[in-house]
Structure 1
Amino acid sequence: MHPKTVKVGVVQATPALFDLAKSVELVISWIEKGTQAGCQLLLFPETFIPCYPRGLRFDAVVGRRSEKGRAMWLDYWTNSIEVGSPEMNRISEAINKAGLFVALGVTEREPVGGSLHCSLLYFGKDGQLLGKHRKLKPTGLERFIWGQSDGDSLVSFDTELGKIGGLICWENYMPLARTAMYQKGIEIYLAPTADARPAWQSTVQHIALEGRCFVLAGNQYVTKADYPERYQNELADEPAVMSRGGSVIVSPMGEILAGPLWDQEGLLTAELDFAELIKSKLDFDCVGHYARPDVFQLLVVNQPDMVRV
């Protein structure tokens, strides 16, 4: 049987910051663009809904919070998305109409309690939510606004396109988290991020080489002017361009297939040739012939079995 090819897309776009309704419209618009480009799988950046609140302090220091910070939190909370909400249903309907798989980075609001999570939502091409991954460990001051998750969030999916899974942003610097995904045989590894440093490209290439998988990494392009007027004073010390992007698609041999895209919005696309994935295993397979289970064993608590779609 001849190995298949899969056309994928990575969205690099500016979110509608702190605006849930406009965020949903943007997501639907980019889904339509992905369909027009012939994509079978589309990846959005980390927290595309309602935004990655880069540069905002929520008026907090160690040992003190304020009403100003709580008002900012309420704004962010109100514009975050809830699974099963009318906004989610609109996105599901658009995906069903488009007929492609979608992985969407959001700030997800808990229906009970109200905590927020940095989540990656996986949708089948019929628009149904296949599952979600919540960031295991928010980075730095992200811990002030997002909760952390546990092993049952390490989801993966065996689809007609291939075996799909991934991690969010700096989770990808956790070697055991990466290995947990490799152990599931991930072929298309998703790495949505808010990291626009050039060094992130090295990280993504390393993951591709280490896991012998295709890697899709999507980021936002955001300027200070994109923030609502009510937050401009908070950003006085920030640069004009707050996230340059850097979205990229990488082969299992670490070769750049598309991107990196800097300083603009755009849709990166690439044809993934699974023959290249198979050939890459000749001399390295970190969970196969290059593994040493007699020396190393990894127990991942509550990691779900891969879901057959």
Structure 2
Amino acid sequence: MPDYRKTFRAAAVQAEPVWNDLDGGIGKLEALAREARAGGADIVAFPEVWIPGYPWFLWLDSVAWQSQFVVPYAANSIEIGSPEWERLESIARSVGIALAFGFSERAGGSLYMGQAFIDAEGRTLGTRRKLKPTHVERTQFGDGDGSDVVVIDTPVGRVGSLNCWEHLQPLTKYAMFSQDEQLHVGAWPSFSIFPGVVNALGPEVNIGASRQYAVEGQTFVLAPCAVVGQAAHDLFADTELKKQFLALGGGYARIFGPDGSSLAEPLAPTEEGILYADIDFAAILAAKNAADPVGHYSRPDVFTLHHRDTGRLPKVSASGRDIPPAATAEVDDLVGAE
């Protein structure tokens, strides 16, 4: 049951990742976590695939050219439960702050666009995978599944996470809202690719998506966002055309309240730093009094959403027959107006 009396300080990071460097990425995460804790934050949120950075090479050239990055990227992705993962848990515990961060998850030989929540005691309370990677991301990453559309109980409230254009998926959003989400981590890479050419990838549309999520779901939204700096250009942009395709900057971190209000002064798009906001969940009750699309503002007699929260890939028995996942039933309590 959600507690609407909770108050705390939250932080959202706007910074450049340490590209294709697992240890470097964890080190920069720790430095920013310590800075956020010194600023009074109880939770700090990091951008999409913060470790080891967003694979911008996927957007810039041919598959043959991209191949030089594939192995280093996979090698610097992280396995859940590995020594590097335990280091992240130790950082949360020693700093005394909850970590919500994006990462490239390596599971066997496959990669997934992961998000995690580690609480201030160093406990991994939840991990998820992006349900459907966007456009060329599908050449690098596998899909998540129904179990990745989830809101979890944490010491700072009921927290959910989505990546990037998952915020443009109406059914995914509704499933999240239906789980009494109070704090949402909406992680983004940077709004740098094809500037002025593809408006849908730019800041105006995607900042709007974060704000709309907040006001539509009556939830607080932390929207951390990465920055493309000179290090990214040095690694990915070997021609002037690629430098034009992948602009410097692109940092547009934001924090929104459940009425859509902006709660933190934005940084310049090229600037690294941390945004802070004081969170009071009582504001959710005020917002829902006007419009609660999964409550009194719904029409379940007209629209119903069925969420099949199936788990990970099925295992194979010794006889070779598939063992079906444990959770295969449709969840019928997620109902209301789309």
Do Structure 1 and Structure 2 share a fold, with TM-score over 0.5?
yes
Residues 103 and 115, structure 2, Cα contact 8 Å, conserved in 1: yes
1:199, CA displacement in angstroms? Answer: 2.1
In structure 2, what is the equivalent of residue 207 of structure 1?
A: 213
| Cα shift at 1:21 | 1.4
Deviations 1:156-214 (A, max 9, x none): 21223211102110011000000010010101011001252222221111111110111
**Contact 1:155 1:303 (8 Å CA) reproduced:** no
Check 1:263–1:289 CA distance in 2 against 1; reply closer, same or farther (3 A cut).
Answer: same
Q: Does 1:75 align with 2:75?
A: no
SS at match of 1:222: coil
- Alignment check: 8 A CA contact 1:58 1:72 kept: no
Distance in 2 separating the partners of 1:216 and 1:231? 28
Contact 1:215 1:251 in 2 (8 A): yes
Distance, in Å, in 2 between the alignment partners of 1:242 and 1:108 is 26
Root mean square deviation, CA, Å? 2.1
Residue pair 1:35, 1:100 contacting (<8 A) in 2 also:
yes
State the shift of 1:232 in Å.
Answer: 3.9
Distance 2:58 2:129 in 1: 22
Distance 1:230 1:257 in 2: 35
- The residue identity in structure 2 corresponding to 1:107 is S
Q: Secondary structure at the match of 2:56?
A: coil
Aligned residue for 2:26, secondary structure, equals helix
Does the residue aligned with 2:307 lie in a helix, a strand or coil? coil
Which structure carries more relative contact order (alpha carbon 8 Å, separation 6+)? 1
Is 1:264 aligned to residue 305 of structure 2?
Answer: no
Deviations 1:123-154 (A, max 9, x none): 12111211211001111101111111110112
Q: 1:227 is matched with which residue: 214, 227, 232?
A: 232
TM-score, normalised relative to structure 2: 0.82
Separation in structure 2 between the aligned mates of residue 227 and residue 166 of structure 1, nearest angstrom: 26
Matched, 1:152 2:147: yes
Q: CA-to-partner distance for each residue in 1:230-287, whole Å, 9 max, x for gaps?
A: 5442674223744421100001111000143322101100001222111111110011
Aligned pairs (5 A) from 1:1-309: 3-57=5-59, 60=62, 66=64, 69-110=66-107, 112=108, 114-196=109-191, 197-223=203-229, 225-227=230-232, 229=234, 231-233=236-238, 236-239=241-244, 241-261=247-267, 262-302=269-309
The alignment partner of 2:100 has SS state of: strand
Give the counterpart letter for 1:5 in structure 2. Answer: T
Aligned to 2:84, the other structure's residue is in SS state helix
Shift of 1:102: 1.1
Q: Within 1, Cα distance between the matches of 2:275 and 2:137?
A: 28
Separation in 2, partners of 1:133, 1:168: 10
Uncovered stretches (5+) of structure 1, i.e. residues with no partner = none
AA aligned to 1:233 is D
* CA deviation profile, 1:18-46 (whole Å, cap 9, x unmatched): 11111111111111111111111110000
User: Aligned residue pairs: how many?
Assistant: 297
Q: Percent identity among equivalent residues?
A: 33
Return the offset for 1:109. 0.7
**1:120–1:78 Cα change, 3 Å:** same
Residues 289 and 137 from structure 1, CA distance in 2 versus in 1: closer, same or farther, beyond 3 angstroms? Answer: same
* Separation in structure 1 between the aligned mates of residue 149 and residue 4 of structure 2, nearest angstrom: 31
Write the distance in 2 (CA, Å) between the matches of 1:10 and 1:235: 32
Residue identity opposite 2:77 in structure 1: S
Distance 1:201 1:150, change over 3 A: same
1:298 aligns to what SS in structure 2?
Answer: coil
With over 3 angstroms needed to count, the CA separation of the structure-2 counterparts of 1:231 and 1:248, relative to structure 1, is closer
Q: Is residue 58–residue 73 contact of structure 1 (8 Å, CA) maintained in 2?
A: no
Contact 2:185 2:221 in 1 (8 A): yes
Cα distance in 1, alignment partners of residues 92 and 163 from structure 2: 22
Aligned AA (1:151): G
Q: Is 2:58–2:66's contact at 8 Å kept on the other side of the alignment?
A: no
Q: Following TM superposition, by how much is the alpha carbon of 1:56 offset from its aligned partner in structure 2, in angstroms?
A: 4.2
Q: Which runs of 5+ in 2 are unaligned?
A: 192-202, 312-326, 328-338
CA distance in structure 1 between the aligned counterparts of 2:289 and 2:279, rounded to whole angstroms: 18
